[in-house]
Amino acid sequence: MILFNKPPYTTNEEQYVLDSMQSDKISGDGKYTVLCHEWFEDQLNCDKALLTPNCTQALEMAAILIDIKPGDEVIMPSYTFVSTANAFVLRGAKIVFVDIRPDTMNIDEMLIEQAITKKTKAIVPVHYAGVACEMDVIMALASKYSLYVIEDAAQGMMSTYKGRPLGTIGHLGAYSFHETKNYTSGGEGGLLIINDSSFVKRAEIIREKGTNRTQFFRGMVNKYQWVDMGSSYLPSELQAAYLWGQLEKSQDINNSRLNSWSIYKGALEGLASKGYLELPTIPEGCIHNAHMFYIKVSNLTERSELIEYLKDNDIMAVFHYVPLHSSLAGNNYSSFYGDDKFTTNESEKLIRLPLWHNIPLANLETVIVTLTNFFNKNSS
């Protein structure tokens, strides 16, 4: 069976995890957390980077930092993972979904302004497949209406928009290091990216259960105490050690994925030119990280048939999100502004193909041949 995903692994992870296990600090913010923080702050040129146990909690921290209150509205795409919405729903916000662009599956930046009301507090663009949303337009709207922008860059590490790393353009950003992402910290993991220095001090407090413990360890206060709301948002030092082993090989991992992505694209262009399928679009000014390679077929029926055909040929391919506005919780906590012209329709056509760090070329070739056979068979 050709698996859809294998968590990235470089062999560096073992020595660092073992070292952290034998250290006197494994509960978080030890040597490897510091190394990771310094690496991200250098690579991203952000004010502060803070590791979290997962991306969900990074988004929850962002919601607290911008002081989301009951009745606030937050604009985002419906085609995203539930955590994008949940982080703000937990603070009492109403989610306002707008339609996506069919070319990138990202929020349609031209529809956002119509959805803004006096209750709107923030815009949450989701960089689907590590391909950037149109951030210049989004940031201009945020400035015009005094809104916060929280980038859900869960899939976006090593991707850029007009030369700027994803997650560093809005006021705050979040990465994921889940096992399905390009880089993992041992199965789960996340990062809060702070691009507005006014958030740094409070972010450290929120992350440390609402205490000024971080300041205490720096010698800035003679004792620490409860000073604000917060929760336990520190990852284990084992997670940071595992991640550090991958950050050292970040470019190798990125190059491997990009090479596989390019093989898929080059080999499938013939099928796309015949109208059998659609390939991903990378807009000008965007550099992507090959987080996934997806194709889009004609409709839901054909997608189901293709997934089953691939499965029969020992290939695991999967679809992605069911739009949040069509879910049970979506009915309770959100509304869809305007027409759902593309969100549902395009989501029902999308299939993600197997792709991971160092996937064997033979696996890629098998997937390509099997896809070709399916479409040739169906067209005859």
The token pair at 199 is 């958030």
Query: Does residue 213 carry a pLDDT above 90?
Result: no
Mean pLDDT of 299-307: 98
The CA distances from residue 265 to 44, 269, 270, 295, 364, in Å, are: 29, 6, 9, 10, 11
What is the model's pTM?
0.96
Of 340, 364, 344, which Cα lies nearest the Cα of 353? 364
Question: What per-residue confidence (pLDDT) applies to 112?
Answer: 98
- With bands split at pLDDT 50, 70 and 90, how would you rate the model's confidence at 293? very high
The CA distances from residue 34 to 49, 241, 243, 289, in Å, are: 10, 10, 12, 25
Question: What per-residue confidence (pLDDT) applies to 109?
Answer: 98
- With bands split at pLDDT 50, 70 and 90, how would you rate the model's confidence at 223? confident
Residues 255-289 have pLDDT tens digits of: 999 999 999 999 999 999 999 999 999 999 999 99
Query: Does residue 217 carry a pLDDT above 80?
Result: no
Question: What per-residue confidence (pLDDT) applies to 359?
Answer: 98
> What rounded mean pLDDT belongs to the chain?
96
- Residue showing tokens 């599956």: 105
Question: What per-residue confidence (pLDDT) applies to 117?
Answer: 98
- Residue showing tokens 């390019």: 262
- With bands split at pLDDT 50, 70 and 90, how would you rate the model's confidence at 380? low
Question: What per-residue confidence (pLDDT) applies to 378?
Answer: 77
Backbone φ, ψ for residue 149 (5° rounding) = -120, 120
Tell me the helix, strand and coil percentages in the chain, rounded to 5: 40, 15, 40
- With bands split at pLDDT 50, 70 and 90, how would you rate the model's confidence at 379? confident
Tell me the H-state helices in the chain: 12-21, 31-44, 55-65, 82-89, 112-115, 135-145, 200-207, 213-217, 237-247, 250-273, 300-312, 328-333, 343-347, 361-379
Dist. CA 41–CA 230, nearest whole Å:
23
Residue 369 near residue 313, CB atoms below 8 Å: no
Of 347, 66, 355, 106, which Cα lies nearest the Cα of 195? 66
- With bands split at pLDDT 50, 70 and 90, how would you rate the model's confidence at 37? very high
Mean pLDDT of 214-232: 85
Residues 135-175 have pLDDT tens digits of: 999 999 999 999 999 999 999 999 999 999 999 999 999 99
Residues 45-78 have pLDDT tens digits of: 999 999 999 999 999 999 999 999 999 999 999 9
Query: Does residue 309 carry a pLDDT above 80?
Result: yes
Of 268, 262, 260, which Cα lies nearest the Cα of 376? 268
